[in-house]
Amino acid sequence: MSAKTDKMVTVPKAVINRLPMYHRFLYQLLLEGKEKISSQELSQLMRITSSQLRQDLSYFGEFGQQGYGYRVETLYQAISGILGLEKQYTAVIVGAGNIGRAIVNYPGFSRRGLKITGIFDNNPKNIGSQVGNLTVMDVEHLADFLKKYPVQIGIVSTPVQAAQKVAYILMKSGVRGIWNFAPIMLEKNGDVVVEDIHLGDSLLTLFYRLNEKEGKN
């Protein structure tokens, strides 16, 4: 039994952000057929400290065995459960450009339980075209579609100018989370969860780090 869970300690953000990484490494180890691993060994693979690994896990329970380590399968299942990967998540994509298409076509997302039920765009050139096994719909029909077929997640992959308007429609239509690829800090209404991917920010960070390094040489 977990000491932490009944004490209701809130899980630090930094820990939450590492959970997918744990999942990724454990999945890899599972594929490799590894049966057990110590915090020491796993942390070396992940380039973190074994203290951090054990501390992180302790927020969710006790998954190892003293003197032995962790069973890879068990820990993998535990992390999957913590992340909620046993569930299915329904989503629509707004913006049928390359990013939207990439998300539909990347098999990793559906494997993780993301089910995309519709893709929308406002460009007549895109509307009606095929993306995977979906047909791009006119964004004019987004609200109607969601009324008929509600989803949990809205994926915003429009140009920045359209993003906020689209986000409001999604929120009004009852999505509980938004996965946002537009370079904008979305205004929320209600208690929707917004998870941002800012590609441009990442690129600029890379630029900075390149120059930083240069300075040193």
Partner DNA sequence: TAGATTGTTAATCGATTAACAATC
What are the residues binding DNA (CB under 7 A)?
2-4, 12-15, 38-40, 48-52, 54-55, 57-58, 62-70
Give min distance, CB of 117 to a second copy, in A: 16
* Count of Cβ atoms closer than 10 Å to residue 160 Cβ: 12
Comparing CB distances to a second copy, the nearer of 65 and 206 is 206
CA–CA dist 105, 124 (Å, integer): 21
Say which entry of DNA, a second copy, none residue 174 contacts (CB below 5 to 8 A, set by partner kind). Answer: none
CA–CA dist 70, 115 (Å, integer): 32
Q: CB pairs under 8 A, 24+ apart, for 132-136?
A: 132/104, 132/105, 134/104, 136/96
In the complex, which residues of this chain contact a second copy (CB under 8 A)? 16-17, 19-21, 23-24, 46-47, 82-85, 87, 89, 97-99, 101-103, 105-106, 108-109, 112-114, 152-153, 176-177, 179, 183, 185, 191, 193, 195, 197-211, 213
Q: Point out which residues pair with 115 in neighbouring strands.
A: 90
Comparing CB distances to a second copy, the nearer of 66 and 214 is 214
